[in-house]
Each structure stands twice: as C-alpha cells, then as structure tokens.
Amino acid sequence: EAGVAQSPRYKIIEKRQSVAFWCNPISGHATLYWYQQILGQGPKLLIQFQNNGVVDDSQLPKDRFSAERLKGVDSTLKIQPAKLEDSAVYLCASSPTGGRNQPQHFGDGTRLSIL
Amino acid sequence: AQTVTQSQPEMSVQEAETVTLSCTYDTSESDYYLFWYKQPPSRQMILVIRQEAYKQQNATENRFSVNFQKAAKSFSLKISDSQLGDAAMYFCAYSGTYKYIFGTGTRLKVLA
C-alpha cells in the first residue's frame, strides 16, 4: 500500500510570510494527525482529524496556524504569518480509526526554515 | 496529565552488542498502549514495537524486546545484536484515552 505522502519536502521562507503543507494519508485511514517536531525534541501534536472533523486542536496556535481536511481525505496545514520559532519539521501521520491500540503511519515530513 | 520521559539523549553501542533504551511515563489510566518508534536520518518514523498495558508478557519483535514494568511505569527497549542500520532516533510513545504523547527521544549510535 502507498504510504503517507507529504509535500513539499523542504521550504524556506522569511518571517511574516505564509506557507502551506499538504498531506495525503494512507487510503482508507480515517484519522489524520499533524505534528510539529522542533530539532532535538519529540513530535508535538498540533491537530487530529477524524474524517473531516477536528478531534483535538488544543495545541494548535490558532492565531497563526490553520488546518483543514474538507473531504476527509487529504489535508492542508497553513501558517500565516510565520515566526522564527516555527522553524521545525512538520510531520503528518494517519491511522485506520484512531484507536489507542493503533500505531501511526508517518510521512517523510516537511522541513520548514524561517529566515 | 500524561507524561513520557526519555532520560538518555544519546546512547552508543558496538555492533553486535546489546543496548537498552529507557522510558518512563506517568498516567492515571489503566487501559493504554505504549510504543517504540524509530526515526532514521531520512525522518520517516516507523513502528518498532507495541505493548498493551493489560498484557504482562513483554512484547518481542525479532531483535527488539521490551521490559514493561507497569507498577514502576517503565517501558525500556532492548536491542540485541545491534546492527549499523539500527542507528536512529528512538521515541517512546504513550497512547491513552485522549492523548498520544511522544518522549523527547534517544539518539542511538552504532559503532562498527
């Protein structure tokens, strides 16, 4: 089966600019996660979708970050405007139903650098 | 709130030797799962092993095994016969009712 697809692989922007990341989960996976992984740290959950609904966005900085999964398949994460501290790898993951027993399947991530 | 702690930022092991990575967690839940993930330099995170809290038997996957001590809230990963391809960041993760939480990771270096 095809894995989780993410694009772009790398992105360099200046602070205050906007940027968007795209993720296509494994076919049939209802649950989609976006993580922020700052260098030297573990992934931090930004938002979790169940189909096209938001399950958890408690750690999403909503003043600048937004995410959508309109048709319950692929998803877009946007940052506007970007700050220096947003430099990180943004990981997308999916699982079949989001059950606690299910491992997550990760994409390659997008490395974002803010100048 | 649940927490996951990996106290070893970096570990080294000689090829063919055995190494143990530590993980402790804190939770008030009784039904949860614990995972170890591997993140090679290419960045794609992959599952290494999974442990259900209700199972006393330690999980094993080929050269990878865990030492799960529920009362002590400890979940260590043992890698036997270490190989160069085992070099990576290893993350311990907790999956409970509402949260999926990762530790800060341990970088494993394998010396030839």
CA dihedral angle for residue A9, residue A13, residue A15, residue A18, rounded to 10 degrees = -70
Q: What integer best gives the mean pLDDT of chain B? A: 94
Burial class (CB in 10 A: 0-12, 13-18, 19+), B47: middle
Residue B68: alpha-carbon gap to chain centroid: 10
| DSSP reduced 3-state for A27 | coil
Any A CB within 8 A of B64 CB: no
Reported as a pLDDT band with limits 50, 70 and 90, residue B2 is: confident
**Cβ separation B44–A43 shorter than 8 A:** no
* Span of A63-67, A96-100, B69-73 with lowest mean pLDDT: A96-100
Q: Determine the average pLDDT of the residues in A19-31.
A: 96
> Which residue is associated with the tokens 């205050």?
A16
Judged by a CB distance cut-off of 8 A, whether residue B90 touches chain A is no
Retrieve residue A4's tokens.
Answer: 């989780």
DSSP, residue by residue, B22-90: --EEE-S-SS-EEEEEEE-TT---EEEEEEETT--SPPEETTEEEEEETTTTEEEEEE-S--GGG-EEE
Query: Does pLDDT of B43 surpass 80?
Result: no
Which residues of chain B neighbour A43 with C-beta distances below 8 Å?
A: 45, 91, 102
**CA–CA–CA angle B32, B50, B66 (5° rounding):** 105
Tens digit of each residue's pLDDT (9 = 90 or more) over A58-74: 999 999 999 999 888 99
B43 Cβ under 8 Å from any chain A Cβ: yes
- B10-28 confidence digits (pLDDT tens): 999 999 999 999 999 999 9
How do residues B76-91 score in pLDDT, each as one tens digit? 999 999 999 999 999 9
Residue-wise burial string across B54-81, b where 16 or more C-beta atoms lie within 10 A, e elsewhere: eeeeebeeeebbbebeeeebebbbbbee
Span A31-41, average pLDDT: 93
Whether B99 shows a pLDDT value over 80: the answer reads: no
Rounded Cα distance, A13 and B28, in Å: 43
The confidence score (pLDDT) of residue A85 equals 95
pLDDT at residue B41, rounded to an integer: 85
Give the Cα separation of B27 and B65 in Å (integer): 22
Taking the CB of residue B84, how many other CB atoms lie within 10 A of it? 9
Q: For chain B, say whether A100 makes contact (Cβ under 8 Å).
A: yes
